[in-house]
Structure 1
Amino acid sequence: MSPLFDALEAREPAQREAALMAALPAQLAHARKSSPAYAELLQGFEVEQVTTRAALASLPVVRKHELQERQIAARTASDVFGGFSTVGKGAAMPRVFSSPGSIYEPEGTARDYWRMARAIYAAGFRPGELIHNSFSYHFVPAGSMMETGAHAMGCSVFPGGTGQTEQQVQAMRDLQPAGYIGTPSFLKLIIEKAQEMQVPLPSVTKALLSAEAFPPSLRDWFLERGIAGYQCYATADLGLIAYETSAREGLVLDEGVIVEIVRPGTGDPVADGEVGELVVTTLNPTYPLIRFGTGDLSAVLPGACPTGRTNSRIKGWMGRADQTTKVRGMFVHPKQVNDIVKRFAEVARARLVVTGEMANDSMTLCVEVANPAEGLAVRIGEAIRDVTKLRGQVDVVPLGSLPNDGKIIDDARSYK
């Protein structure tokens, strides 16, 4: 069986670029005609002339916080997507998902809507296999993203979801899946639980991992236990952006997106190799995000992938261009920290500090309070869980203790 998913992956780079640029004007025209948000954002632009990357760079960047703001503004009306979706609820939109923030995402009817099959194939899965999918199936689209991609590739899926580690081990023992899809930290927990239960899992030899950093130390830990883990980079808004191959040299860009690396805080592309913010344009007609700023940092790698895939490669996730970060697979936004603080008038300033190593991280909300009342830390901890859906510690500190640098979220984790 071919090591490549399809012929698109082996196209000459010039052929791929020509195809993407030829499709771009029609996508822009469709977005402006069918999406109220882009009718406004693209007003005055001659979209039929946008046939080069230089022309694309003249269009505005829409960052995640702007998408969220537009959604919030429209939430009392009929359109909860802020005018970015081109279809309404009903048969054309079988599912609606929510990401922390809250940001709502539509799922369309296209086969492999999130374009995940390509990444699943690159991780070593093949048609006819059973995949144990431990991404969440509720609220966020991750479970559906992977399941629809697996189905499009011809695989069966066990919807393990999250939690219930012992039951996950039992299901793997009984069903003998070919591999696992989910976060790396949860796979580690499952393996450790299996060892504790003295249950061998010989069938699980490969994994597609996402939603968290996947450091070499954890990759090697899996390999020592017979599991080849590969990562992919995807978001709830865009679907698949890039994926790792057996060469393990960066992440190859998906065939269905146009990726730019721009200087953080601007829409200006940087030179290849320079670290900047990933800005993505999709060719998805249902949710046509144009120059969508992910807030993630990365850089383009020189040369082509040794596997024969000819698309550009990026180094992978290199941090955040803004202060939004992921904790245990969930985005935490500065706005959420502010929402927590607003519930407590006695809190003067706050900073969320994320520490530890990926797959074993924790967060502590440091709050400045002049005269803390009894039980304040407990109540703030409950608010953290309510707003972020994650558990966090609370450190009450005297006024003036936190640095005066405007930082709301401090990601102090180790990514080695």
Structure 2
Amino acid sequence: MLAAQIFAVIIFIGMFVMIVLDKIERHYVTLGSGILTLTVVFGICMGNLNAILNTLAFKDFFTRDFWYQLEESESAGINWATILFIAGMMVMVEGMAKAGFFRWLCMKIAFLVKCKTIPIFITFTIMAAVLSMFIDSITVIMFLAAVTVELAQLLDFNPLPMILSEIFCANLGGSATMCGDPPNIIIGTSLGLSFFDFLTNTGIAAGIGLVVAIVFLYFAFRKELVSKKAEKIDISKLPDPSEAITNKKDFIISSVIFACAVILLVTHGTTHLTVATIGLFIGALTLLTAGKHALELLKKVDYKTLVFFIGLFIVVSGLEETQILDKIAMFIESISGGNKRLMIAIILWVSAIASAFVDNIPFAATMVPVIKNLSAASGMPITTLAWALAIGTDIGGSATPIGASANVVGTSVAAKSGHPVTWGRYCKKLAPATVIILLVSTIYLFIIYL
């Protein structure tokens, strides 16, 4: 097991370094690292065929819980539900774009804020946070990033500052509710917490953090947001928003499909339909209504991002199967002792730091039993530790381009439109913002719960 643990860590660190160096396309890096994990860690070191099969997780497709889930279960290996969901949303977004939905929305916003980039920036960041409270942040970023690119082309400004700010605020907004981010679903269902439990606890922290974040991001990006062309735009000369609609029938259909996606995602806790079912249904519905254009939509799907996720899930599974994540959890438990402030700070900050590099879904699942034990041993209310874990895993993921699914999707949309995001560019702005919001959240937890 020791050899397997060493190689699992080496492969993970090597993958991370390669992604940071950005010399090879990241989907090749994660896929190659995933293959190494399967062959070296599981095959040679462990000789465990079951570990390989569990990681590939093909059997999940044939279980009821994959499509219709009455109780939240911890996923292992490749999270095919996430892959299917993202793929379905990508197809839907391409269908909406083809119908002119995003350009129509761009023009509407341009008219409302008189084509001023700063008001657009503020509006979009708030929209990202609010939508992510009820809709998966991946969907929100796919939608807003596409709109931002369209608007940037129209008004001649750099879309990267807005896309990065949208990513950050989407992750922040996702921490506010139980359905806003996958870790919250795991924490909430495992501990019997409701939508309104999150809203009245992490929701308040997220609201405070949003105000601070918008102020910080505005000053961080204000010089890049200035667009001389945008300041001189004559609104009367802009085309009417309705002219952006390429086909009224397709526009109506794509709008209805988007509304269905929103309703299904908001109510999936009640309907028990999984994100895999929702993603597959929405994608299939888009293709069916697209008719002869279905193949065109399929060709536009960003398959590189999907491959990136598959490789990343395999490498993280290597850390899970070799019990590296368990060791991290045990370390937190051992050093916290009986100091309640230290306990909250450790849970929040370690979760945040880990989530910046490791997928926050398996980390949250690993940490839930840890906070249960900490609560029983120390007398600390389990809910207090739950809020610290939720805030840490949700917000900490904003610090790096691979820390959360929304980050990967948002930067991919930017790169696809000709605006690649380097690690240095991303971390220079959003890592400090993440630290500031985590500090604000720590103070909030200390004041309210101790």
* TM-score with structure 2 setting the length: 0.28
Higher relative contact order (CA 8 A, sep 6+): 2
Higher strand share: 1
Higher helix share: 2
